[in-house]
């Protein structure tokens, strides 16, 4: 059950990345229309959304990988302790 919840959290990373890019791109469109700066605000905001989304994606993926490694080490240590007894 815990593994399934963990996998769903990782699946949400792609949605978070897309949401960051879409949100910042829409902000850029609004700025361009408001102050007639086309296309610079869209380019800058989309870039910020992409960089921020990728930063969050990579950070979360590395955190999940570390958690999986720790869990595997605990299972391996637990199996070795049971075999010793």
Q: How far apart are CA 14 and CA 57, in angstroms?
A: 8
In this predicted model, what pLDDT tens digit does every residue of 11-66 receive, in sequence order?
788 899 999 999 999 999 999 999 999 999 999 999 999 999 999 999 999 998 89
C-alpha of 81 from chain center: 36
Q: How far apart are CA 46 and CA 34, in angstroms?
A: 17
In this predicted model, what pLDDT tens digit does every residue of 58-77 receive, in sequence order?
999 999 889 889 988 988 88
Burial of residue 41 (CB within 10 Å: 0-12, 13-18, 19+) is buried
């Amino acid at each position: 059950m815990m593994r399934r919840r963990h996998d769903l959290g990782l699946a949400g990373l792609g949605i978070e990345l897309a949401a960051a890019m879409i949100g910042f791109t829409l902000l850029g469109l609004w700025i361009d229309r408001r102050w007639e700066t086309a296309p610079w605000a869209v380019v800058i905001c989309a870039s910020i959304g992409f960089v921020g989304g990728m930063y969050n994606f990579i950070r979360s993926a590395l955190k999940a990988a570390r958690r999986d490694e720790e869990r595997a080490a605990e299972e391996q240590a637990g199996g070795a302790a049971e075999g010793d007894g």
